[in-house]
Amino acid sequence: MTGRNIGNRKRVAVGGIRYEANSFSAIECPETVFEEQFIRRGRAVLAAAPANSEFFGARSVFEAASDVEVVGLLDTYPGCGSPVPHGAYERLRNEFVSLLRDAQPVNGVLLSLHGAMATDEEDDVEADLIRAVRAIVGHEVPLIVSMDLHAAVSESTASMLDGLIGFKTCPHTDYEETGRRSAELLLDAVRGASSPAVFLEPVAMITAAEAHDTNTGPLSSHMNHAQSLVDGSSVLDVSIFAAQPWLDAERTRWTVAVTYDRAECGGQARARSIARTVATDLNADIGSFRVRKTAVGDIWQSVLAFTAGPVLVADSGDSPSAGADGHSLDCLSRLIGEGLPTVLATMTHPELSIAASHSPTGAWMNGEPLAPSVEVIAAASGRFERRYPAGPVDVGSCAVVRVHNATVVITERPAMMLDTSLFDHVGLDPANFAVVQVKSAGGFRAHWTSISDRIVIVDSLGGSSSRLTELPFHKISRSSWPFSERQTVQSGELP
């Protein structure tokens, strides 16, 4: 169906279903995964969007446009974890499609997707959802999508889009800016000021997330160069997608997406040239994307090398913000001991968190697998507002226990540690501890600098381990580095 103007106003539909799947998470994703966090519908998609979110940025653009009517569909983001039960996704997709069908006619569609969502039956959820949207609006209505820098973008997805805008930062600090740019691109398209299209170039590499930092890491120079190629006329956006490296899917690999104006003479040729140049440069620099980490047995040696604290110990192999389950003790077990400096940490364990939250303060209880015995310090609701990514979360039962030198926040569900929100929620100040274990593969850096810049990155085991070639992949392309063995990894280096 081709959209038509409602009077002189343009009518656009907005919404999103976002989730980041990790194929190696040991905790099964529940059927109620979306309902357990949040689902915004109708006007609330924009009106209730928190600051530091894509739809908050998009809202500012739409509110300034007197010729636009916005129809909110639904928006949800339950975070990361194992692939979603297909039935749970299917129910939400069907509701999304029904809302879009009821909203017809529209002149344009704006979607916010993660780009690495999968179910236990569908490896490319984004393509599936976009295909359903196209079945309703047709191929003449502009469809603009924003995605996370860790999107694994398939050719199928890109071929159905008029514009694809990715985050340019890692840690991700440009949510609002991405939302604004996506909304501006959509309005230009529906007003006839541009005719955008997408050219996608694959890059045969899959790399550890620690190498994706756009502030100091190897990706920074490539990202800066890519942005310098945007001219605002024929080339509207250049996005580098580093892919979720723990998604076992055929589409998992880096990509470069160039959104260009097909109405501009030579636009497609320039887009193709830019995408292939950026991809070639990334391939040529592949050795820079190896990472070095501290062995778990050397944690205290590295920590004590700092003369002051707190020291942040990044338990990178068990990062909930990368989809890992947060229950690995590979790192934490090395931090606990009598007479050692104080440690603040987190752990996911449903049974232990429930038992502790129902025990009186000061009680000693069986703390296995954390320790034979732990002291209960406090219990708290699992519901709080997370600052980054912004929005309400529910980590289920939540309790604070102490064992020897360690104070540990135990949650029923995995808790992202990209900021200090969980610790703030339970009344613990990380600055009061000598060591803070942070279950994150690198995304924590943006919002932990006020606490400390003393960081030890640990080569820990878990669902987000950097030892990619040791993980049980079955579906990825073996032509992608490091699986292709195009370059030899040196001792102490991880791809």
Residue 257 belongs to some domain of the structure: yes
Residue 491 belongs to some domain of the structure: no
Q: Is the dihedral of CA 197, 481, 471, 221 positive or negative?
A: negative
Q: What stretch of H or E contains 92?
A: helix 86-103
Residue 481 belongs to some domain of the structure: no
For residue 454, which of 239, 243, 247, 305 has the smallest C-alpha distance?
305
Residue 36 belongs to some domain of the structure: yes
Q: Within 10 A of 432 (CB to CB), how many other CB atoms are there?
A: 12
- What local confidence, expressed as pLDDT, does residue 61 receive? 98
Q: Are residues 329 and 285 in the same domain?
A: no
Domain of 418, in residue numbers: 294-465
Q: Total domain count for the chain?
A: 2
Q: Are residues 229 and 322 in the same domain?
A: no
DSSP per-residue letters across 347-380: EE-HHHHHHHHTSPTT-EEEETTTEEEEEEEEEE
How would you list the strands of the sheet with 10-17, edge to edge?
39-41, 68-76, 10-17, 108-112, 143-147, 163-166
- What local confidence, expressed as pLDDT, does residue 487 receive? 46
What is the C-alpha to C-alpha distance for residues 239 and 361, in angstroms, rounded to an integer? Answer: 51
Q: What is the CATH number of the domain that holds 228?
A: 3.40.50.2300
Q: Are residues 385 and 458 in the same domain?
A: yes
* Residue 26 contacts residue 130 (beta carbons within 8 Å): no
What is the C-alpha to C-alpha distance for residues 212 and 234, in angstroms, rounded to an integer? Answer: 28
Backbone torsion region of residue 79, taken as left when φ is above 0, otherwise alpha when ψ lies between -120 and 50, otherwise beta: left
* Residue 149 contacts residue 245 (beta carbons within 8 Å): no
Residue 403 belongs to some domain of the structure: yes
Q: Are residues 257 and 309 in the same domain?
A: no
The residue ranges of the chain whose pLDDT is under 70 are 1-7, 485-495
Q: Are residues 183 and 306 in the same domain?
A: no
Residue 402 belongs to some domain of the structure: yes
Q: Are residues 299 and 278 in the same domain?
A: no
Residue 185, CA distances (Å) to 126, 155, 188, 273 in order: 20, 21, 5, 22
Residue 489 belongs to some domain of the structure: no
Q: Which of 289, 309, 324 is the last residue in one of the domains?
A: 289
Q: Are residues 235 and 348 in the same domain?
A: no
Q: Are residues 275 and 305 in the same domain?
A: no
Q: Are residues 138 and 272 in the same domain?
A: yes
Q: Are residues 245 and 306 in the same domain?
A: no
Q: Within 10 A of 140 (CB to CB), how many other CB atoms are there?
A: 9
3-state secondary structure of 31: coil
Q: Are residues 281 and 353 in the same domain?
A: no
Residue 216 belongs to some domain of the structure: yes
Q: Are residues 193 and 67 in the same domain?
A: yes
| Cis peptide preceding 389, ω within 30 of 0 | yes
Tokens of 143: 């469809």
Q: What share of the chain in percent tops pLDDT 70?
A: 96
What is the C-alpha to C-alpha distance for residues 254 and 89, in angstroms, rounded to an integer? Answer: 25
DSSP H helical segments within 113-173, as ranges? 125-137, 155-159
For residue 20, which of 146, 119, 141 has the smallest C-alpha distance?
119
Q: Which of 289, 320, 351 is the last residue in one of the domains?
A: 289
Q: Which of 228, 256, 289 is the last residue in one of the domains?
A: 289
Per-residue pLDDT tens for 440-476?
988 888 889 889 999 999 999 999 999 999 999 999 9
- What local confidence, expressed as pLDDT, does residue 490 receive? 41
